[in-house]
Every structure is written in C-alpha cells, then in structure tokens.
Amino acid sequence: MKSAISKITLIAGMILIGMSSVVSAQTKEFKLDGKTFGMPEAQIYTEDYDGPTVVGEHLTQLPNLAPLNYEGNKHHEVRIDIVVQEIEVAEGVRYQAWTFGGTVPGPVLHVREGDRITFIMKNRSDEEVTITEPSKGGSPFMNQVANNPYQKNKPGIMPMPHSMDFHAGTVAKDDKWRTVGPGETIKFDFIANYPGSYIYHCGTPSVLMHTSMGQHGVVVVSPKEGYKTGYEVDREYVIVQSEYYLTKGAGDLYTYDFEAASNNNPSHVVFNGHQTILHDQPLKANAGERVRFHVSNNGPSGTSSFHVIGGIFDRVWLEGHPFNEMRGMQTVLLGASSSATIDMIVPEEGKYILIDHEFVDAEKGATGTLKAGPRKK
Amino acid sequence: MRSQKNIFALTCVMIFVMVAFMPEIASSQTVRVFVPAGSFHSVLPEVPGEPIQVDSFYLDKTAVTNEEFVSFLEENPEWRRSEIPSIFTNAGYLKQWKSDLDPGYENLGKDRPVTRVSWYAANAFCAARGGRLPTLNEWEYSAQLIDFENEKEANAFSAKLINWYSGIDANNLGAVGSSEIENEYGVEDQFGLIMEWVDDFKPLIAEDLSLDCGTVGRMNTLGSVYSYAASIRYITRMSFNAKITTGMVGFRCAYNTPAPTPESQQGESL
C-alpha cells in the first residue's frame, strides 16, 4: 500500500526527468587561428564536497594577482563554489551577498593565453560556509581572505539557482553556462583563447539581480608573448569597479533595491567590493616604478571613466589585448564588462587617487589611493 | 443482468484499486479555501488574447507546517530522512532536523512551514492528504487574486516582492499565516514567507525558453512590475529539479473536493 505511493511518484518523477533532460551533440575539438574550440559537454551532478570554496593555485584575493610560475601552457583545475555571505560594503552597510567563493567580487583567476581550465562549481547557497578560517587544500585566495577579511564575512543562507558565465571562455552558453540549483555541481572545460582581462558573472535571470547581489569577478589572461614593452613592470594590481543597489532593510541589514537597480541609481559604486578599501589599504609603489593596473568594470550597469589623479597612463591595452595599444591616456572609458591593462610611471613620492572620473560615481565610493614612497633605484 | 454483474465486478475492482492506492490519510485536516474558476495571464508565452483558464479548485489556506509533516512521517515511515530512497531526494532532505521525527521545534517552530523537502516528498504528502500539489497555473492564478487599490499600489507591492526574492531569510522563517498577505478568497502567504513547489514546476515550454539575460525582458508580458517579480519566481522554479531540497522551498496542497466533514471521514474509514 505504501509502496504504491512510491511507484506513482516514481513514474511521475521519471516523466519529469525525461522532460528535463536534453540530448545535445558534442562538438569535436578543433583549431582555428591557433585557438582551440569545441569543448566536451558540461556535466551536472551532486557531490558531497564540503572543502574550501576556492581551489587552484592561481586564484587570489583582490588586488593581488598570482604569479604565473610555469612555462608555456598549463591545464588548470579550478573550483569556485557559490556561497552566501553577509558582508560589509561600506562602513555600517552590510547585506547578504550572493558570491563566487565568498567575497564580492569573487577571486581573481590568472592564466596564460592558451591555457585550459577545468572548472568546477558547487551551488552551496543553502549551506552555511565559513571562508575566513585558514583551510587546507584551498587556493591562495582562501588564506589571503583569512588574513585580511576586509568585508568582515559571515556565513549566510539564501538558496537560489545560479550559473557561471566566463567572458574569458568561448563556448555555447546553453551547455557550459547552465544554471544549477542548490546542492548541484557543474563541471566544464574552456580554453583561454584570447589575452586580456575578462569578467565572469552569474548568468541566471534576473541577471541584473544576480550580479547586483555580488556574483561577478575577473579572469586575467596574460598574453603568451607578454606585452611588447621592452621593460618589466615593478608591480601589478587588479582593480574591479562595480555597483551595489542597496536599501535599508527591516533589521540591521541592507537588501537589494529593485527600483534603484532598474533606474541605474546605485547606492554605492566601489573598487574591489568595498567603499573605502583602497584608502584603508592603499596600493603601494615607489617613485620611478612602473605599475601595471588590470582594471575591469564589472558593472552591472554603469560605465567607468578610470583616471589616476596626478598620473598619465603611459601605455594602455584596451581589453588587455596586446594589439590594442594606446599611449598617453588621461582617462580610459570602460563600458559594463570592459577592461584595460594600464601601465603608469609613478612620478614622485606622494599620494595618487584612483578614481572614476564620472564624479557621481566617485562620490558614491569609486576612489582609491596609490601611495608612493621615495625613489629607490 | 449480465451487464449489472459486470458493473458490480468493475465497482469491486475499482474500490479495491482505490483502497490499495489510498495512502494513510493524515489525521490533521487544515483549512481548504475554495478558489473559483477564472482566468489569468502568465508570464509564459500564450496565444494573444487568450488568457489561461483555470477550473475551480481548493487550496490549503497556508503552507504545510513542520508539525504537519511530522504527522505525515509518523504514518509514512518510508519518507523519513533515514528511509527515503536517494532517487527521491538529494542529500539535503530535512537536514536541519534533529532526527527522523524531531524537527527541533525550539529552532524551527511547529507552525513554521516545512522546507528542505523534495518535490517527490511534497507530492507524497499531498497524496496522503487526499489531494495533490497545485498546478503551476492554479498556484499563479490564486497568487494573482490580490486586490489592490490602484496600479501604483500594485507596483509598489511587486517591487517589494522582487527585493524579497533576493533576501528570503531561510534561517528565520515566520510562522504560516504571518506574512499578512492573502488573496481575496483567503489563501495566505503565497508571497512573503517561502517559495512553493507546484506540480509542473518545469513546464514543457521551459526547455524552449533560453534562460539568459533577456529572459526577464521577454517575460515582461504583463507590462507591469508584477510580471518582473513573477518572472523571477518562474525562472527560479524552472531551474530546480524534483530532487532538490532547499531552506526556502516548501509547499501546500490542492484538492478537487472540499475538506471531508468529520462524518464523511468516519464513513471512509468504515
């Protein structure tokens, strides 16, 4: 009698599963212009994994960039799990963020043009996951966050379906960028075919809501032959600009403000996820050094007119591609999901302010400090 | 004469089949609200000018509570956490409960909606109660039967709803009936508490809808903030599979008939 229920349920379930499974053809790998296309089909499954949210040796916390300590190309195994974290985005402003890896923006992945990435992502939005304690087997990102949890992360729960869209990947979105529900894992491969800095973000609708809630980050793909400059830079930093659309909620926390997001009226526009982080922890350099900024505007909806007060950009590679070289720029205009690699000579000891020269954004937080020491060379 | 015998035999078979498939009727009966027939516009593609017709049905006034789910498990042990086959759920099934039959009411509350149940378990519960999960259209139709003074008020409500979808606090759910949101027939909490399973949460058309940045815009068929909120709900539900359990998804049951009176219930058990 009781098993009868199960039988009916089973049949109904099988029909449902039958409806939802799609058979998609697998493309064979091929090369064109030295680039590799045709990745194996993505897999969606469940796993018992409860380890570090970010795994892989070339993932770091902003503004750091992991060194590429290998020659030629490498096959990276990368995990970035989705977790919910209560984070601080400005003094006194905390909200339950939807994150890749635990911070907003998520970790910076650094690879070389032509590298293959096997990417794994578990949707852990229904689990409380602490990311601020040192972990074994995690990426450098995990230890950097444990040592410097500038968003004061606390675990949270907000189960939602999510997905991953790497702009650094060239694949069919209906396969690789598929949405996974809470408790599910997706695994797929992509090749970093083009050099430059590329955003990644959740592509599950409402995309505006998911990205505003914090689901974005950046992949830096260094060119195979480097940038043809004839010099080495002294320092490299990654800077991500993004907007928050928050309003005071019923309790102490802030919540997503749909009306503000719809009207392009952010409550905060920030560098590296926090309104004052690049003043609280200024970027460092010395007079006479060459600093390389990998700047990405992750939006979701605004533009950035990136400028450094007191500096002129010596060389700029739009989108970070070595062919797109510009010289002597005062400001670089970045659309939503656009980037530039910028080299700047630090003129003298003192303070330089990184700023979105769209002043309405600057006054909402999009500023930071580069603090220069005396000339050492 | 012969045909009468056949009818008698057929009736016997029918009764046997019905009894054999009749699950244990849960002892506690909750309030069923009559939702009259009508029509509504969904955010899924539809034939222009032809709103979706919905027949009358009965719907639980509130979502199924932890306490009600415990009663169900007492009578249907195969749906307990330690017994449920893995084909019917993922690992998260009732994971916040202390044990098979003890949710830990001090944390979860008797009157709070049960969550972290798979679609299969929700289905079985409703069958055991003599009902079924509401269809997608029934649920959405009922949810739209809210009276607003004017469009401005409706839009303000919908904007709040979108914010709510981004911040359901699964760790601190309210008791059923606490959202103070109800439709004009008295169905409560379709918004403001949890999201709910429906029978056909992934309708056939889901496969044809490309879930991407443009989906919300394409679903903006009602030309209102409400359709924006609805599209988030539709998309979220469509992204689930029947084994998924989450801290914000519970359910309520629908019925084709009114709640049995105590007499008729006794009649059934005889």
- Rounded average pLDDT over A304-319: 98
- Which pLDDT belongs to residue B262? 64
A88: left (phi over 0), alpha (psi -120 to 50) or beta: beta
pLDDT band at A7 (very low <50, low <70, confident <90, very high): low
Residues of A in contact with B207 (CB under 8 A): 19-20, 22
Question: A235-373 has which fold?
Answer: Immunoglobulin-like (2.60.40)
pLDDT band at B220 (very low <50, low <70, confident <90, very high): confident
Measured distance CA(B195)–CA(B118) in Å, rounded = 13
- List the single best residue of B108, B241, B245, B251 to mutate versus A (max A Cβ within 10 A): B241
With CB atoms and an 8 Å threshold, state whether A206 touches B240: no
pLDDT band at A127 (very low <50, low <70, confident <90, very high): very high
- List the single best residue of B108, B123, B161, B212 to mutate versus A (max A Cβ within 10 A): B212
Domain with CATH 2.60.40.420 in chain A: 53-222, 235-373
Q: Answer for the pair B215, B209: CB distance below 8 angstroms, yes or no.
A: yes
Measured distance CA(A114)–CA(A122) in Å, rounded = 25
pLDDT digits (tens, 9 = 90+) for A269-285: 999 999 999 999 999 99
Among chain B residues, the shortest Cα distance to A256 is held by B163
- Which pLDDT belongs to residue A251? 86
Catalogue all structural domains in chain B, each as residue range(s) with its CATH number: 2-269 (3.90.1580)
Residues facing residue A286 across a β-bridge: A373
Among chain B residues, the shortest Cα distance to A246 is held by B163
- ipTM of the assembly? 0.81
Q: For all residues of chain A together, what is the average pLDDT?
A: 93
- Which pLDDT belongs to residue B26? 43
pLDDT band at B22 (very low <50, low <70, confident <90, very high): very low
Measured distance CA(A2)–CA(A4) in Å, rounded = 5
pLDDT above 50 (res A22): no
Q: Which of residues 196-215 of A touch B (CB under 8 A)?
A: 203-209, 213
A137: left (phi over 0), alpha (psi -120 to 50) or beta: left
Measured distance CA(A309)–CA(A102) in Å, rounded = 32
- Which pLDDT belongs to residue A32? 96
Q: Are strands A108-112 and B195-196 parallel, antiparallel or unpaired?
A: unpaired
- Cβ-in-10-Å burial (0-12, 13-18, 19+) of A38 comes to middle
Residues of B in contact with A249 (CB under 8 A): 167
Residues of B in contact with A6 (CB under 8 A): 78, 85, 88, 124
Question: A53-222 has which fold?
Answer: Immunoglobulin-like (2.60.40)
With CB atoms and an 8 Å threshold, state whether B213 touches A207: yes
Q: Answer for the pair A132, A150: CB distance below 8 angstroms, yes or no.
A: no
- Which pLDDT belongs to residue A11? 56
CA-based nearest distance A161→chain B, Å: 6
CB-side exposure of A200: number of CA atoms within 13 Å?
31
Residues of A in contact with B21 (CB under 8 A): 1, 4-5, 8
Q: What pTM was estimated for this model as a whole?
A: 0.87
CA-based nearest distance B166→chain A, Å: 7
Check residues B43 and B196 and name the one with the higher pLDDT. Answer: B196
- Which pLDDT belongs to residue B23? 47
pLDDT above 80 (res A14): no
pLDDT digits (tens, 9 = 90+) for A323-375: 999 999 999 999 999 999 999 999 999 999 999 999 999 999 999 999 999 99
- Which pLDDT belongs to residue B216? 77
- Which pLDDT belongs to residue B69? 98
Cβ–Cβ contact A182 with B under 8 A:
yes
Cβ within 8 Å of residue A109, ≥6 positions away = A56, A58, A59, A76, A78, A80, A117, A200, A217, A218, A219, A220
Q: Answer for the pair B40, B144: CB distance below 8 angstroms, yes or no.
A: yes
Considering only CA atoms, which of B223, B216, B230 is closest in space to residue B164?
B230
Q: Answer for the pair A115, A73: CB distance below 8 angstroms, yes or no.
A: yes
With CB atoms and an 8 Å threshold, state whether A208 touches B246: no
pLDDT digits (tens, 9 = 90+) for A55-111: 999 999 999 999 999 999 999 999 999 999 999 999 999 999 999 999 999 999 999
Q: Which of residues 61-100 of A touch B (CB under 8 A)?
A: 95-96
With CB atoms and an 8 Å threshold, state whether A160 touches B204: no
Cβ–Cβ contact A7 with B under 8 A:
no
- Which pLDDT belongs to residue B9? 55
Residues of A in contact with B85 (CB under 8 A): 6
Measured distance CA(A183)–CA(A319) in Å, rounded = 35
Cβ within 8 Å of residue A230, ≥6 positions away = none
- Rounded average pLDDT over B235-262: 91
